[in-house]
Amino acid sequence: MSLYEASFRVKHECPYREISERHPDLTIREWYLSDCQVLEITSPETPTDDLLAEIDALGSILHRSVDDTGLHVVTQACLCSLEESIIDRFEANNCLYQPPTVHRQGWEHYTVIAFNEADVRALIQDLEADRDIDVLSKTAITEQAIPHSMLAPVDRLFEDLTERQLAAIRLALESGYYEQPRQTSLRELAERTAVARSTYEEHLRKAENKLLTNAGEFLRLVTATAVGDPLQVDQSEPPEQCAD
């Protein structure tokens, strides 16, 4: 079965596209989550005060660095101020959106995958009705080439984790707990919080268990077409059952 991948760029009223038009060296990558957007903003040039003010107005800054390599910002923005989502237009024309959206030099860049060429043509005609569009490529691909990230949305990786569990695992990750060798201990991590060590460890272990469980869907997709058995797992003996 042949699928079709189409890449195109569009122009319409969008604050991110307009910022990229005013600042040609800027690149904005946009990911959609269930109730917000995550933006990665980069530039090889030192940002002006005006640009930094525009970025601050976009949403909550999660990370910002300015050094001799340029600007790097990660911010979280609300969906409520955006127009009817172009993603809905993709779905209405049976096309799968491949994130991220890239805003650069006044254009929004998108990539979609469709199950037949007619759906791609219908989508392009739909978008041409109310915005400028420039088709960059349209190629046939194999079914096995569908990106795994499209089939398992990233927000599902963090499904069912509480705020405290997310905070616990983020602290551990950013403190080097998962590096080899470890840069910190559970005791040291807990001492940096307002909770007891046993409470912090409970939050951390539950976060790890939920993340690994949720990641199982990603893992099965990634290994679905793998050949061979690098670990040479013995399939003849069933795993031992844990006692109740």
Residue % of the chain over a pLDDT of 70: 81
* Per-residue pLDDT reduced to its tens digit, 82-109: 445 788 889 889 888 888 899 999 999 9
**Residue pointed to by tokens 């460890």:** 201
* Per-residue pLDDT reduced to its tens digit, 134-166: 999 988 876 555 555 445 555 567 778 888 999
Q: How many angstroms separate the CA atoms of 47 and 49, rounded? A: 7
CB-based contacts of 118-125 (< 8 A; 24+ apart in sequence): 119/4, 119/93, 119/94, 119/95, 120/4, 120/6, 120/95, 122/93, 123/6, 123/89, 123/90, 123/93, 123/95, 124/6, 124/8
DSSP calls for 105-173: TTEEEEEEEESSHHHHHHHHHHHHTTSEEEEEEEEEEEGGGS-HHHHS-GGGGGTT--HHHHHHHHHHH
Q: How many angstroms separate the CA atoms of 69 and 46, rounded? A: 8
Q: Which residue has the higher pLDDT, 130 or 20?
A: 20
From 64, 69, 63, select the one nearest 45 (Cα to Cα): 69
Partnered with residue 143 across adjacent β-strands are none
pTM of the model: 0.59
Query: Residue 222 — very low, low, confident or very high, per pLDDT cuts 50/70/90?
Result: low
**Phi, psi (rounded to 5 degrees) for 198:** -60, -35
**Residue pointed to by tokens 């096309």:** 95
Asked if residue 78 has pLDDT above 60, the reply is yes
